[in-house]
Amino acid sequence: MISSIAFIIIFVSAFTFFIFKVFKIRRNILLGRDIDLSGNKGQRFKTMMMVAFGQSKMAARPVPFILHFFIYSAFLITQIELIEIVIDGSSDHHRIIWHWVEGTFMGSIYTFTINFIEKLSAGAFVATIIFLSRRNILKLPRFKKPEMKGWPSKDANLILFGELALVTCIMLMNSSDVALQRLDVFHKTDTFIVSSAIANLWSGLSVDTLMLMERIGWWGHLFGILGFMVYLPFSKHFHIFLAFPNTYYTYLKPKGQLTNIAAVTTEVKLMLDPNADPYAVPTPDANAAPVKFGAKDIHDLTWKNLMDAYSCTECGRCTSECPANQTGKKLSPRKIMMDTRDRMEEVGKNIDKKGKEHQDGKSLLGDYISEEELWACTSCNACVQACPVNINPLEIIIELRRDLIMEQSKSPSSISTMLNNIQNNGAPWQFSPMDRANWANELMSESESKKS
């Protein structure tokens, strides 16, 4: 009874804390501007199943794809065994599901499921060791970028070591369980292939020792899962949950198609159409807030931009594909997303402590992301294409650059020259419109002289 009460208290406490943090993150995401992404439900569901569930974009790099598949699938399937642990823990029984299904067709399903979980867990164990080696021994360049120093690197390693401990506990629990079955201490189940092989190592151990090992594995598995759940909202691994809604709400417009500002579009159409009636345009509400061009802080971005930031896996594929980063420029699309998430967390903590109206005098643009980073972007969409969960760093970059130009009138000299030329000459080049066809006239003159 004491064990059951302790289990229920621990489980409910961890789950409650997790839900509390999820609502905090939801609150932070909704600090962004509203945007309607509710249409095309069939296409959105298809995208989610292919990209989030099917891991289709991971396949661009086959080796990490296979390794990640073992960890990802083991995490999903292992939760089935967690159901049994929850039932056993709250009822103070041992493998109660097996007692329900023994001797039936569902008993075969039970055995198949446990064997499948064990095989995936063994694959996940090997994959985790390889991932740790890639980060800490091989030291792949994309894991050693400046933005990965400190906590981001520790976070990744902490999760990987946690996965090793979790798989170890699963195997210890099941193998000592099998060893106890062989001694007729526990009611026998069907054969579990992997744990039966490991159980051979425990031959000769006393019943008390095996019982202790089984309890360590059982409680270790439980604490591992619950600890992982409590830790997730503080970690980049929260993408395990957010990858699904994030890919569902993917922008379905073609890559490279920028979002226009409605107020600017209206003005341009009026200027380009000589027959347009400016009085036909609805008069803005005098009490409405002035139109904001671009984004300076997270409140100016959309909730989808903010969800992108929380969904970032910090894998660095975007940065490794970025041509600006490859040539040594300061821009890192991964850092853009990490900075956006860090700023959201900071604003959220300020709200918790000082209220929603508090202004800390900081902003995403300037305090987190520099102008140099923004102007290094070539708008090529390589980062968008590379992201395994359809994150769009480019949209945030574009919105921040819009603020610089349209709100602050700030841009590099080369861009300022181009904009002035467009304003004065109708083209990016410093030539009068009257002289624009001179090059063609010169070619015609040369052609005529050759003929003569």
**pLDDT band, very low/low/confident/very high, at 128 (cuts 50, 70, 90):** very high
Segment 203-225, tens digit of pLDDT: 889 999 999 999 999 889 888 88
- Cα angle 110, 112, 113 (rounded to 5 degrees) comes to 65
pLDDT at residue 332, rounded to an integer: 95
- Cα–Cα distance measured from residue 451 to residue 372, given in angstroms and rounded to the nearest whole number: 53
Q: What percentage of the chain has pLDDT greater than the value 90?
A: 48
Q: Of 178, 13, 187, 15, give the one whose Cα is nearest residue 98.
A: 187
**Reported pTM:** 0.85
Sign of CA dihedral 95, 96, 102, 105: negative
Q: How many CA atoms lie within 13 A of 145 on its CB side?
A: 23
Phi and psi dihedrals of 203, rounded to 5? Answer: -65, 135
More confident residue, 342 or 114: 342
- Cα–Cα distance measured from residue 288 to residue 281, given in angstroms and rounded to the nearest whole number: 16
- Residues belonging to the chain: 452
In DSSP terms, which residues pair with 302 in a beta bridge? 33
pLDDT at residue 80, rounded to an integer: 78
pLDDT of residue 286 exceeding 80, the answer is: no
Segment 250-260, tens digit of pLDDT: 988 888 888 88
pLDDT at residue 424, rounded to an integer: 84
pLDDT of residue 275 exceeding 90, the answer is: no
Ranking 75-89, 205-219, 387-401 by mean pLDDT, the lowest is 75-89
- Cα–Cα distance measured from residue 232 to residue 305, given in angstroms and rounded to the nearest whole number: 20
**pLDDT band, very low/low/confident/very high, at 98 (cuts 50, 70, 90):** confident
Q: Which single residue is written with the structure tokens 């600006």?
A: 324
Q: Of 116, 153, 179, give the one whose Cα is nearest residue 316.
A: 153
CB 343 within 8 A of CB 298: yes
What are the Cα distances from residue 341, in Å, to 155, 202, 212, 321, 333? 15, 48, 43, 21, 13
Q: Of 70, 80, 179, give the one whose Cα is nearest residue 125.
A: 70
pLDDT at residue 328, rounded to an integer: 92
Q: Of 241, 343, 266, 259, give the one whose Cα is nearest residue 299.
A: 343
pLDDT of residue 277 exceeding 80, the answer is: no
pLDDT of residue 184 exceeding 80, the answer is: yes
pLDDT of residue 287 exceeding 70, the answer is: no
Q: Which single residue is written with the structure tokens 């699904």?
A: 244
Would you tell me how many other CB atoms lie within 10 Å of the CB of residue 308?
A: 28
CB 107 within 8 A of CB 99: no
pLDDT at residue 111, rounded to an integer: 87
pLDDT at residue 289, rounded to an integer: 67
pLDDT of residue 59 exceeding 80, the answer is: yes
More confident residue, 141 or 449: 141
CATH of 262-411, one of 1.10.287, 2.60.120, 1.10.1060, 3.40.50: 1.10.1060
- Rounded to the nearest angstrom, the gap between the alpha carbon of residue 326 and the centroid of all alpha carbons in its chain is 22
48: which DSSP letter?
Answer: I
- Cα–Cα distance measured from residue 222 to residue 414, given in angstroms and rounded to the nearest whole number: 59
Ranking 15-29, 211-225, 296-310 by mean pLDDT, the lowest is 211-225
pLDDT at residue 222, rounded to an integer: 86
pLDDT of residue 161 exceeding 90, the answer is: yes
**pLDDT band, very low/low/confident/very high, at 428 (cuts 50, 70, 90):** confident
Mean pLDDT across the chain, nearest whole number?
A: 88
